[in-house]
């Protein structure tokens, strides 16, 4: 989706972010109305909200196993 943004931690800027479980009524009922979902940064361990259509950062070409000749 061209309008989707890359998941990044707003605290440290890392793209090592994963979805977190919803904890209370606010997160279970109100967040879906605003198309938000909880995420947790795996580097700084901070929890934040982001849009449901945000996407993971694509790994660099060197990490994908593509070698240049």
> Which two structure tokens, joined as six digits, stand for 44?
């700084």
- What is the chain's pLDDT, residue by residue, as a tens digit (69 residues)? 445 677 788 889 888 888 888 988 888 998 889 888 899 999 999 998 888 777 676 665 555 555 554
Asked if residue 69 is part of any domain, the answer here is no
Domain that holds residue 26: 1-55
On whether the CB atoms of residues 54 and 5 are closer than 8 A, the answer is yes
pLDDT (0 to 100) of residue 2: 46
On whether the CB atoms of residues 17 and 39 are closer than 8 A, the answer is yes
How many C-beta neighbours within 10 Å does residue 27 have?
Answer: 16
Q: Which of 22, 15, 11 is nearest to 55 (CA)?
A: 15
Asked if residue 19 is part of any domain, the answer here is yes
Asked if residue 46 is part of any domain, the answer here is yes
pLDDT (0 to 100) of residue 62: 53
């Amino acid at each position: 989706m061209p309008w989707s943004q890359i998941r990044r931690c707003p605290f440290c800027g890392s793209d090592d972010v994963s979805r977190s479980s919803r904890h209370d009524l606010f997160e279970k009922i109100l967040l879906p109305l605003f198309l938000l979902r909880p995420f947790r940064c795996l580097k700084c361990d901070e929890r934040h909200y982001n849009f449901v259509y945000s996407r993971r950062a694509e790994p660099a070409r060197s990490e994908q196993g593509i070698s240049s000749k």
